[in-house]
Each structure stands twice: as C-alpha cells, then as structure tokens.
A and B are shown apart, each in its own frame.
Chain A
Amino acid sequence: MKRLLKKPLRLTPLQLRLFKTGLHAVFMGYLIFLGWAAVTDNLGADPVKALIHGTGTSALNILLFTLLISPIAKHLPFPSLMQCRRLAGIYVFVYALIHLSSYVSFELQFDWALVTSEIIERPYITVGFIALLDLFLLSITSPMWVRRRMKRTWQHLHNSIYLILLLVLIHFSWSRKTALQEPLIYWIIALLIMTPRIQYWIQHIKRRR
C-alpha cells in the first residue's frame, strides 16, 4: 500500500503523553456524559435502554478503532499510534463492563436469578457475555510484565480480539427484532477494516500448502 506521509509521524514522549491524555479525555469524557445524562433523566424517554445501547455501541466503536490502529500506524505511517492501542483496548473492556453492569443493575434491578437465567438461556446474551469474559482476559494480560512472561502465548491469546469482534457483531444483530438495522452497517464497516487482514490470512494459508 502507498504511504500517505513522506516521513513517518513520530511523537516525542511529551507529545505522546498529550495525545494519550486527549484519548483519555474523549473516552472518559463520553462515559461521564452518558452516566450524568442517564442519572438525571436527560437521555430520552428510556434512560436505561439509552445507557445500555450507548455503552454497547461505544464499546464496538472503540473496538473498531483499536483494529484500525495497526493499519494506520503502518501505512500512514504513524508508528507512535501503536503506543495507544492498549489504552483503547482497555476502554473497550471498560465500556463493555459498564454495558453489562447497566443491564444487571438498572434493567434487571439485581434480580440475580433472572440475571443468571437470561445469560444462560438467551443465546444473544450468552454470546455477548463470552465476548466480555474474553475482553477481561485480554485486559488483565495487558501489562508489559505479564506480556513478557507469557511469551508467545500472549500473541495467541490476544489474537482472540478477532473472535471478540465476531461475537460482538452477532450479539448486536441478534438483539434486534429485524435484520435490516444499524448492526448491518457495523458488519460492513468491520468487514472493510478486516479486509487487509483477511487477504493476508488467505495468502498465509496458500503459502503453507
């Protein structure tokens, strides 16, 4: 692929820190806004549903952003961006966790019997829950010292982000009453983002034969 910039974009440590602070401000800021609006009944007619949907779709948006980081870092090129991938990835987990907690606390009102039966009996919730567990694993193995200790296993584990993407998309589509809705647009965007990787995987498999 053609490079867009002549010189790779490299940030000084200070610039990088500022850049990361900016990302924190956006991700954290939006979360605080959602929470504040939901508590003060400023999130439409049903603040509970709005909070659940808002955190859920944001988690997916940030997930797609993290998947864009390595292609951008490589092709812009903007290598410093790679240093922000873990940060973004952890926000995916944070948003997903708040997504589930809002469902458990505000939607089901801590009716634990109902929580358990819904997670087990409803396939779309089961699928979302598995994705969240996987995100949890990726988050707790994200510190550098864990990564070093895990050696090659780390990469294998973290490749499951693609499985998470698939599960999340299924969860999203399955939660709707009809197929032709917003989730379909997400499938298309996800496919576009994944195309270079899929091409690479196909070549890889062909070479092996």
Chain B
Amino acid sequence: MKRFRPSQTFTDNQVTDERVFQDRRRLLKSLGFVGAGTLLSQSAHGVGWFDSEPEFEAKSLSFTPSDKFTTDEAKTPYTKVTSYNNFYEFGTGKDDPAERAKSFKTDPWTLRIDGLVKNPITLDYDAIMKQFAFEERIYRMRCVEAWSMVIPWVGFELNKLIQLASPLGSAKYVAFETLHDPKQMPGQRNPFIGGGIDYPYVEGLRLDEATHPLTLMATGVYGKTLPPQNGAPIRLVVPWKYGFKSIKSIVRITLTERQPPTTWNRLASNEYGFYANVNPKVAHPRWSQASERRITDGGVFNQQRIATRMFNGYEEVAPLYANMDLARYY
C-alpha cells in the first residue's frame, strides 16, 4: 500500500486559525473600510506634508491707490483675508475654501454682460485683466455673521462696465451669477459639502446701487490677483451691504426690469433680505447686528468689538434709500 505523502507540511502555527478563516470575509471588508476611510480623510483634509496639489500663485497687478476710498483703520492681515472665507461652493467651513479651491481654474474665464443692454459684452480673462484701469481701495467688509475685516481690494467701478454695455431705459436691476461647475466646485456636486443651497449662487442690485461709485468689481487683493477662495478671477464688492451680497467668481451680469432672485433670500427670506444693507438697528433673527468683531491680528485677549455703523460707515449711499423703510426692506 502506498503511503500518502503531503507535498507540503504545515506546523500548527502556520495554519490559519479557524475563527479567522470563518470570519475572513468580514475581516477583508473591515480592512477595505479602513482603507477607504484613509482615502476619504485625505481628500477631506486636502493638505498634507507631502501634498503635491499645485498651489494657487498670486500675480502682481498694476494699479493706482485711491485717495478717496481708503481708511486709516488697521487692515486685516493677508493670511486672514485669504483663509477665513464663506464660499459654500467649496464647503461650509471658513477654512474649507482655502483648502479646496487651490486648483480652481480662473483662466480661461468668460464674463458676459447681457439682458436689457444695447451692447452685450463678453470679456475673456485677458480683457478682464487689461481692459480697465485698476485702482486700490481699502474697504470695510461687514459679514452678516457679525464679524468684519478691512481689506485693500484692487479693481474697477462696476459702473464703467455697465456704461460700456449701455443699459436700456427699461433696465432697473442688475443680476449676477457665479460660475456653475460641479466638477471644480465640490459644494455644487455634494449638498453635504455645499450646505444644501441651490446653485449657481445668484445676487442682485438695483441699477442705481450697481452704478454707485462705491460699487467695485475686484480682481485683486493686497496688490495681487485674487486667490480662488476670495472669488477669483472677478467678484463684486459692495461695502455698505453684508458680505453675502458681494458675489464671487462671476460669469454673468444681466440687466433686468424686475428684481432678480438672490440666493440667501431664497433660502431664508425672514433672515436675509434683497437689500441687506448693513444696519445696526435691524437684528438678524438669530443674532444682534448692533456691534461686530473686527478681525485683525492677535489672540482672544486682543479682540475689538466695535459698534456697527449704518451702511457700514458709508453714509454717502443714504440718498439711495431716501424714502424707504429700511426695517421693512432689510
């Protein structure tokens, strides 16, 4: 009789434990879960010591400093202006946009001005950057969340752009629209990142507000091109209104006869009005607007809480609202 000879011999400790063997599928699954978890955590944080994602590079702009539109107030440092942003297209956290918008493409870009105009205009990136003489204006920026910054913007008056398009007599309002590109803007793909608001982000002004000399189209900050998180390549800055009116990364400006819908008003009309003028007397339903915390240098013991001023201190716009009840049209 031939004796059976195993081709391989195992000792006990080489044999997989039965319990592990029986459980192998669950074990592999859980390993997969750990693996996926690691991947997720990387994409969620974006930044690592060995990160190879191309960082945004700010380019210098040529401009003349404005004598008229400036302030002696301490400026908010560049790092804070560019790391503390509300830009839900890149996440609802204040530091999300700076992390997630790094590879956002701003060139090529197309900005269209259309609607009730004689002369519709399409500007490409170079036209945006070269067609207008830039100036630097230092504006206060008051967020609806009761914090504020002092920011040196570079840009040109929106009025110049609107005049170029020559509005028709029937034009009463100006509607603005942010880029809609879910591939580049994770908040537009995933409502859990974008806070569940409707995209594209839209804003609007009355024509007389839009053509007011204070209303700025900004292409830069601190003398350089805007970083993506601040609304590159071109954004609106309306210093007497809450920050959310100053729409970012604009692709379209349309002159209309009727008041256009605006994103935050659509989401919660009892909290955010169409006008959204800075007004210490009209509280947000969930917090007071009577004062604000100025974001500058320093830790928690170096904070300044200051009284909020009507129209954010830009009293020259008061005639625009001469006969209006601003508690009703907030």
Q: A177-B195, A178-B196, A181-B195 are in contact. Are A47 and B290 (CB under 8 A)?
A: no
Q: How far is the CB of B297 from chain A (nearest CB, A)?
A: 7
Which listed residue, B147, B283, B286, B301, touches A46 by the CB 8 Å rule? B147
Q: Complex: how many Å from CA A184 to CA B267?
A: 18
Q: Is the CB of B299 within 8 A of A40?
A: yes
Residues of the B chain whose Cβ atoms lie less than 8 Å from the Cβ of A124: 286
B287 close to chain A: CB less than 8 A: yes
Q: Count of A-B contacts with CB under 8 A? A: 83
**Residue pair B84, A46 in contact (C-beta under 8 Å):** yes
> If A41-B298, A124-B286 touch, does A180 touch B303 (CB 8 Å cutoff)?
no
Binary per-residue interface labels of chain A (169-190) against chain B in the complex, 1 for a CB within 8 Å, 0 otherwise: 0000011111111101000000
Among A60-68, A100-108, A138-146, the stretch that binds chain B is: A100-108
Please encode chain A, from 109 to 130, with 1 for each CB lying within 8 Å of some chain B CB and 0 for all others. 1010010011001111000000
> B79 to chain A: which residues have CB within 8 Å?
45
The answer to the question of A51 belonging to the interface, with a C-beta cut-off of 8 Å to chain B, is yes
A52 to chain B: closest CB distance in Å? 10
Q: How large is the interface on B (under 10, 10 to 19, 20 to 34, 35 or more residues)?
A: 20 to 34
B286 touches A174 (CB 8 A): yes
> What range describes how many residues of A lie at the interface?
35 or more
Query: Which of B83, B283, B300 is A48 in contact with, Cβ under 8 Å?
Result: B300
Q: How far is the CB of B266 from chain A (nearest CB, A)?
A: 12
Which residues of the other chain, A, contact B295 by a CB distance below 8 angstroms? Answer: 45-46
Q: How far is the CB of A4 from chain B (nearest CB, A)?
A: 13
A39 within 8 A of partner (CB): yes
The 8 Å CB contact of A44, one of B83, B268, B301, is: B83
- With the chains together, A33 CA to B299 CA distance in Å? 14
**Known contacts A109-B305, A111-B305, A178-B92; A47/B300 CB under 8 A:** yes
Contact call A45/B83, Cβ cutoff below 8 A: yes
CB-defined contacts of B290 to chain A, threshold 8 Å: 114
Given A107-B293, A114-B290, are A179 and B299 neighbors across the interface (CB < 8 Å)?
no
Determine whether B191 belongs to the interface, using a CB cutoff of 8 Å to chain A.
yes
Instruction: Kindly provide the distance from the CB of B265 to the nearest chain A CB, expressed in whole angstroms.
Output: 13
Indicate if B288 sits at the interface (CB-CB under 8 A).
Answer: yes
A38 within 8 Å of B (CB atoms): yes
Question: How far is the CB of B316 from the nearest CB of chain A, in Å?
Answer: 29
Taken together as a complex, chains A and B put the C-alpha atoms of A90 and B288 apart, in Å, by 32
Which residues, 178 to 205 on B, are CB-close (under 8 Å) to A?
191-192, 194-197
Cα–Cα, bound, A46→B79 (Å)? 11
Quick one: closest A residue to B302, CB to CB?
A: A41
With both beta carbons as reference points, the residue of chain B lying nearest to A180 in the complex is identified as: B196
Which B residues are in CB contact (< 8 Å) with A178? 88, 92, 195-197, 267
Taking the complex as formed, is B291 at the interface, i.e. its CB lies under 8 A from any CB of chain A? Answer: yes
Are the C-beta atoms of B288 and A45 separated by less than 8 Å?
A: no
A51 and B300 form a contact (CB under 8 A) = yes
The interface of chain B, by Cβ under 8 A from chain A, is 79-80, 83-84, 88, 92, 94-95, 145, 147, 191-192, 194-197, 267-268, 283, 286-288, 290-291, 293, 295, 297-303, 305
